[in-house]
Amino acid sequence: MKALAFHAEKCIGCKLCHLACSAQNEGEFNPRLARLKITSIHNRDGLLVRGQTCDLCLACVEACPEDAIIEKNGRLSFLPDLCTDCGICVETCPPQVIIDKPKGVGVCVQCQSCANWCPTAALTFEEVNK
């Protein structure tokens, strides 16, 4: 199965991925609504680069008590009519990339907008071991 992958050594911390994701999936430029989290900051130990992306582990699909998140052809789908806003998927997601919204959630649909925008190929869409 193919999914997003992050290569920290190539990341420049520009956040274009966050903007591309939020524009594509939420209709606004808002890094906090991106369905991935890329961090590139200087802390006391030096430069810290960390990436959290959906690797299609499907923990959310298993966790959702209402089957509101399903996997089909290597992509997640969110079914808003079934969601009861219990928040279990948000808490469960190992990379913590499900966006909690006032109504429902936002899951990564592997649209690859982030990877298409990434200027250094730090984000790629590639075969993951599943």
Partner 1 sequence: MAYMDKILRVNLTTGNSTTEPLNKEWAREYLGGKGLSIKYLYEELKPGVDPLSADNKLVLMTGPITGTLVPNSGKLAIAAKSPATGTILDCSIGGHFAPELKFAGYDAVIIEGKADKPVYLYIEDDKIELRSAAALWGKGAHETEHLLYDELGDVITLAIGQAGENLLSMACISSELYRQAGRGGIGAVMGSKNLKAISVRGSGGIKIPDIRKFSAAMNKIKREDTMTDDNMWAYTDGTPMIVDLSQSTGILPTRNFQEGTFDGYKAINSDAVKRVLKAKKACFACPLACSNYVKMGKTEVEGPEYETLALCGSNCGIGDMEAVIEFNRLCDDHCLDTISAGNTVAFAMEMTEKGIHDFGIRFGDVEKYLTMPTLISTRKGVGADLALGVKKMAEKFGGGDFAMEVKGLEIPGYEPRGSWAMGLAYGTADRGACHMRAWPAAVEAFGDIDPFTSEGKAELVIGMQDSNSVKFSAIWCDFWAISTERMAEILTLLLGREFTAAELTIIGERTYNLAHLFNEREGFDRKDDYLPARFHNEKLTTGFTSGKSLPKEEYEKMLSDYYQLRGWDENGKVTAEKKRALNL
Size of the site for partner 1 (CB under 8 A): 32
Element (H, E) at 43: strand 37-43
76, 69, 32, 121 alpha-carbon torsion, rounded to 10°? -20
Judge whether 55 and 84 are in contact, CB under 8 Å: no
Minimum separation from the CB atom of position 124 to partner 1 (A): 16
Residues 75-94 as x/- pattern, contact with partner 1 by CB under 8 A: --------------------
Give dist(CA 5, CA 65) in Å, integer.
28
Identify residues 7-46 at the interface with partner 1 (CB under 8 A): 9, 12-16, 19-20, 22-24, 26-33, 40-44, 46
* Nearest Cα to Cα of residue 110 among 75, 85, 63, 65: 75
User: Phi/psi at 96 (nearest 5 deg)?
Assistant: 60, 50
Cβ proximity to partner 1: between 19 and 64 the closer is 19
49 binds partner 1 (CB under 8 A): yes
CB of 15 to partner 1, least distance (A): 5
Q: Shortest distance, CB of residue 106 to partner 1, whole angstroms?
A: 13
Contact status: 102 vs partner 1 (CB under 8 A) = no
53 near 76, Cβ under 8 Å?
A: no
Residues that bind partner 1 (CB under 8 A): 9, 12-16, 19-20, 22-24, 26-33, 40-44, 46-47, 49, 113, 116-117, 119-120
